Amino acid sequence: MLDFITDRDIYEEVIQGRIGRASRFVWIATSDLKDLHVDKGRRMVPFLEILSDLVDKRVEIRLLHAKEPGPAFRRDFDRYPNLIDGMERILCPRVHLKALVIDGSFAYTGSANLTGAGMGAKSEHKRNFESGIITDDETIVGKVMEQFDNIWRGTHCALCKQKQYCADYKDILA
């Protein structure tokens, strides 16, 4: 399967349709990281609650992002203490990709950041115009994972011209 999706479909196909069913791992790459809310049953909850539920099921969560999240995200993060040890995170100022990989068998890559207006449940008239591709094609999923993993492992760090701005640089090369 290879499909082009836009706007609200990104939320419905990726956030609502796939993440909660992860069984092994979820890798998320985003430039911008803000508090976003999603449907859970009959209520709206912070997306971090979905990630917290996954951590409780022993699903590995990796988050790669470019800048520190805003205060609302940090407040919500504090409500889910299992994320402190259950979610790995690397801040890299050069990250501009937006991608999500679930269990090594599904990937999204496109323009939507992990924000309410990008991937969240915002209404049609408040959300960004976004587009992306979802796939279960092994080759494409593998390429998305390879790019993510190269950043995660610090493959580019030694030659990076932005490392003085990277809070996690020392940890990556340690």
Residue spans per domain, the chain: 2-173
Average pLDDT over residues 128-157: 96
The residue with tokens 């494409």 is 140
The residue with tokens 């069984």 is 23
How far is Cα 105 from Cα 82, in angstroms, rounded to an integer? 26
Tokens of 95: 């990250």
Amino acid present at 17: G
CATH of the domain spanning 2-173, picked from 3.40.190.10, 3.20.20.100, 3.30.870.10, 3.30.70.120: 3.30.870.10
Q: For residue 107, list its beta bridge partners.
A: 101, 135
- In this predicted structure, what is the pLDDT of residue 167? 67
Considering the chain, what is the average pLDDT of its residues? 92
**169: pLDDT confidence band, cut at 50, 70 and 90?**
low
Amino acid present at 161: K
Residues 77-107: tens digit of each pLDDT: 999 999 999 999 999 999 999 999 999 999 9
- In this predicted structure, what is the pLDDT of residue 166? 74
Residues 130 and 47 sit within 8 Å (Cβ to Cβ): no
- The whole model's pTM is what? 0.93
Helix (H) or strand (E) holding 151: helix 138-153
